[in-house]
A and B are shown apart, each in its own frame.
Chain A
Amino acid sequence: MIRTLWQILKTGIVTENVRGKAADDISVLGQKLSNIVKQRFRGSLTIRHVDAGSCNGCELEIHALNNPIYNIEQFGVRFTASPRFADMLLVTGPVTQNMEIALKRTYEATPTPKLVVAVGDCGCGCGIFSENYATIGSIDKVIPVDALIKGCPPTPAALLNGILNAIEG
C-alpha cells in the first residue's frame, strides 16, 4: 500500500498542462475542446466507439486519449458503453460485410441529434484494403457521416482536433 501511495505521489500530475506548453497542440486544442463542450454539450460530450472492421491500429490511439497524458476526460469528453447515452459515434473502418448490420443497429440505437465521426484512412476511405466481397468500404457507405479524421492511424492529437472540428460544426 505504501509503495502504491508513494508511486502516486512520485508520479504527480503528468497530464499535459493546458497553459504550460503553449506550443504543444494538445494544450491549445484541449482548451478549445473544453470550451465548446461547455457551450454546446452542457459540459459533457459522450462518445461511443464502434470498430466496424479496423485493423485495431486506430483503436490503440483512441485508447491513448484516455491515458493520463491526454486525459480526455479533463475536457468533458467521456467514452460510454451504451449507444443510448452517446452524443457521438466514433467509428473506425473499413466497414466489413460482417459488421454492416451491427453498425447500422448501433447507429439506430443512438438518440438524435447525433454526430458520426469516421476515423482513420480506412474509415474515411478504404485505406489499403480494397472494396471487395468482404469489405464494403468507408463508413459513409453505410451510415451518414458528419466529420472525418484521417491518418493511419490518426495520432491522439489528430483525434482531439477531429473531435473538436466535428462539434464546432
Chain B
Amino acid sequence: MSETNKNIMTYYEVDVSQFSETAKLMKKMSASLTAQWAVEGKQFFEVYACYRTEEDFLIVKSLLPKDKPEFPSVSKIFLAASRFERQIYSFMGIKALGNSDLRPWIKFADWPADAWPLRKDFNSAQCLKRVKGEYAWIQAEGEGVNEIPVGPVHAGIIEPGHFRFQAVGETIINLEERLGYTHKGIEKRFESLGWLEGYKLAGRVSGDSTVAHSLTYCRALESMTDFTLPPRAAWLRAIFLERERIANHLGDIGAICSDAAFSIMLYQFMRLKEHFLRTNQTLFAHRFMMDCVVPGGVSVNISAEGAAQMTQELAALETEFERLVKIYDGNPSLEERVRDTGILSTKKALEIGVVGVVARASGLNLDSRSLYPFAPYDKLQVKVPLYTAGDVNSRVWVRIEEVRESMRLLRELLADLPDTTIKVPCPLPERNSTGFAVVEGWRGEVMYWLQATSAGTINRCMVRDPSAVNWLGLESAVIDNIVPDFPLCNKSFNASYAGHDL
C-alpha cells in the first residue's frame, strides 16, 4: 500500500442540500477550501469540495440529478470558491446557486454559451465557432478614477494575461484579472490518455514546475493501487523536486530585484541558475528534468560520481549565494522598494486560502512537505520559514531561506541514497477507483485528483496548480500600491498562467 496517500484524505458524502452547511462547519473547524470541481458520472453529476484541515484533506462529495445541475454556492463562506464555481459553471454547466458572479472564467465570452467541455457528450475535437460576446468588466465609478487595461501580450518574455486597473492618480484601487489565454483543454485531454502516459502531459501543465506536476500525477496514480515505490526512486524524486525549487527561487529572487531596479542581482542570480540547470542536463539529460518522474519510479539514475558532482556544486553555490544574500540585505535603496510593497495580510491570506511561498510570507505555516510528509520527507523534517509582513520583501526572504533549506535537504538525501532499483511496474487502477495526491512544488501545493471510469480508463483528472488560488492573492495585495509597482508585486507572486489556465 502506498504509504501516505490513503491516510491524508477522507471522503465524506453529503446530500446536496447540505453542501454549503458542510462548508460552514469546515470554516468553524478552521479548515480552508483548496479546490472545488465537478464530474459527469453515468447517472449523476458529482460535485466535490476539498478542504485542508490540520491533519489531512477532507473531500466532500454531493450527487446532483442530471436534470438539475445546481448546488448551493460556498463562495460567501470561502473566497476561493468564487473562481472555482465560475470555472465549474464554465466547463460543466453546473450552477452554484447564490454565487452572483458566474461570468465565464477561462472560457471566453466568444465561445458558444452551451459549450461545456468537461461534459461527456461534448465533442472535444470540434473547432468552436466564435460568437459575439462581450466580457462584463467590473466598473469602478467616481471622480478621478481612470482605467488602465494591460495585455494579453505584455512587454518582455512572459505569459499572456489581461489586467485591468482602476486607479486614482497612481494608486490602484482595484485590479481585475482576466486569465485563460493559455487554456489548452488539458483536463479534457487527460481523459483520452492512458494512465501510464498522463505523466507527460502533467509535466507540461506548467513547464517551470514540471517535476512537481508529474510527481503529483504519479503519486495520485500510485495511490489508487497497492503500490510500493522503491526507496531509491523516492529519494531521487525528492532530489529532482528540491533542485527544481532551488532553480526557480534563484531565478525569482534575481527577477524581483531587477523589477526593483537593481539589475546586477538579476544577472548574478541568472548566472547561478544557468550553472545549476547545466548540472541537470549533465546528470539527468534535461535542463528542467522533464519526464524524469514516471509512474512506478524515475527514469534516470544517479551514479556515485554524479552524486559527488552535485555535492561539490552545492558547496560552490552556497558560497556564491550567501554573498548575494548579503548584498540584498545591505542595500537601502532596494529595501525601500520591497519593504511594505504589495502587502497581503495574514487575515487576507487566510481568507483567500493562498498557498506556498505567498502563504508563508503572510504568516501561514503551510508546507505539505512538513504537514503531510511522504518518504523521504518524513525523515527529513523540513524547516518551514515563516514571515508575517506579507510584503515583497517577505516573499524574497521565504525564497532565500528555502534555497538554504533545499541545499541542506539535498545534502542529506545524497548522503543516504538507498541502493535499490529506480523503477518498478506501476499497476493500473481498478474500475471506478479514485486517487489523490498533494506535493509541495516550488510555488506551493500542487494537487491532483484522479477518477477511473467503469471501464477502468481515466474518467477525470482534476489539476490544481497553486496559482489557481494565488492569483486571487495578487488582486488583493496590489490595492493601494502605485501602478508602477505592479510588476514588482506580480513578480514576487510569480503565479503561473499556464498552470492556472490548464
Residues in chain A within 8 A of chain B (CB atoms): 3-4, 7-8, 11, 14, 49-64, 66-70, 79, 81-82, 94, 96-99, 102, 106, 127-136, 152-153, 155
Contact = CB atoms under 8 A, between A and B. Distances in A.
Interface residues of B, number: 60
A52 B126 CA distance: 20
28 contacts: A4-B264, A7-B268, A50-B153, A53-B181, A53-B183, A55-B206, A55-B207, A56-B497, A57-B210, A58-B207, A60-B207, A60-B208, A67-B270, A67-B271, A79-B156, A96-B182, A129-B204, A131-B125, A132-B125, A132-B184, A132-B185, A133-B117, A133-B122, A133-B123, A133-B124, A134-B128, A152-B204, A155-B281
A42 B122 CA distance: 53
B152 A99 contact: yes
B159 interface: yes
A106 to B, nearest CB: 6
Contacts of A53: 181-184
B331 interface: yes
Given A54-B159, A57-B290, A134-B117, A67 B184 contact: no
Contact of B264 (A7, A56, A134): A7
B330 A97 contact: no
B183 A96 contact: yes
B42 interface: no
A102 B496 CA distance: 19
Contact of A67 (B127, B153, B267, B281): B267
Given A53-B182, A133-B185, 11 more contacts: A54-B182, A54-B207, A70-B274, A79-B156, A97-B183, A98-B180, A106-B153, A129-B184, A129-B189, A132-B124, A155-B287
Given A3-B327, A134-B117, A102 B153 contact: yes
A94 B275 CA distance: 29
A56 B208 contact: yes
Nearest to B200: A128
Nearest to A48: B153
Interface in B392-414: none
B204 A128 contact: yes
Contact of B115 (A8, A51, A133): A133
Interface in B201-240: 201, 204-208, 210
B69 interface: no
Contact of A99 (B160, B188, B207, B288): B160
Interface of B: 108, 111, 115, 117, 122-128, 152-153, 155-160, 180-186, 188-189, 192, 200-201, 204-208, 210, 251, 264, 267-268, 270-271, 273-275, 277, 281, 287-288, 290, 323-324, 326-327, 330-331, 496-498
Contacts of B158: 51, 59
A70 B267 CA distance: 11
A151 B42 CA distance: 40
B interface: dominant SS? loop
Contacts of B273: 67
Contacts of A54: 159, 182, 207, 498
B159 A4 contact: no
Contacts of B496: 56
A67 to B, nearest CB: 4
A132 B188 contact: yes
A160 B283 CA distance: 23
A6 to B, nearest CB: 8
Given A132-B189, A133-B185, A97 B157 contact: no
A67 B274 contact: yes
A134 B204 contact: no
Contacts of A153: 207, 288
B207 A57 contact: yes
A46 to B, nearest CB: 13
Of A14, A53, A136, chain B has the most CB atoms within 10 Å of the CB of A53
Nearest to A49: B157
A61 B108 CA distance: 29
Contact of A134 (B123, B156, B183, B268): B183
Given A69-B271, A81-B156, A134-B183, A4 B208 contact: no
